[in-house]
């Protein structure tokens, strides 16, 4: 039983690490989208 728990715990740790990495990727994508939106707005404002 102890070995099963150990395997499950290892898998949970792997999933947690993957989630942490993906969370960082999502944050970066959001920042990029915000910057692109800001740049688009600034560009449109300059044209007026």
For the beta carbon of residue 1, count every other beta carbon within 10 angstroms: 5
Which of these, 15, 17, 39, 19, lies nearest to 27 by C-alpha position? 19
Ranges of each domain in the chain: 1-48
DSSP string, 1-48: -HHHHHHHHHHHHHHHHHHHHHHHHHHHHHHHHHHHHHHHHHHHHHH-
Of 29, 33, 35, 31, the residue nearest 43 (C-alpha): 35
Q: What is the pLDDT of residue 19?
A: 98
- Give the pLDDT confidence of 4-42 residue by residue, as tens digits: 889 999 999 999 999 999 999 999 999 999 999 999 999
pTM score, whole prediction: 0.72
């Amino acid at each position: 039983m102890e070995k099963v728990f150990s395997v499950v715990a290892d898998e949970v740790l792997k999933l947690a690490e993957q989630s942490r990495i993906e969370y960082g990727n999502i944050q970066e994508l959001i920042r990029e989208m915000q910057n692109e939106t800001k740049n688009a707005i600034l560009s449109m404002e300059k044209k007026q």
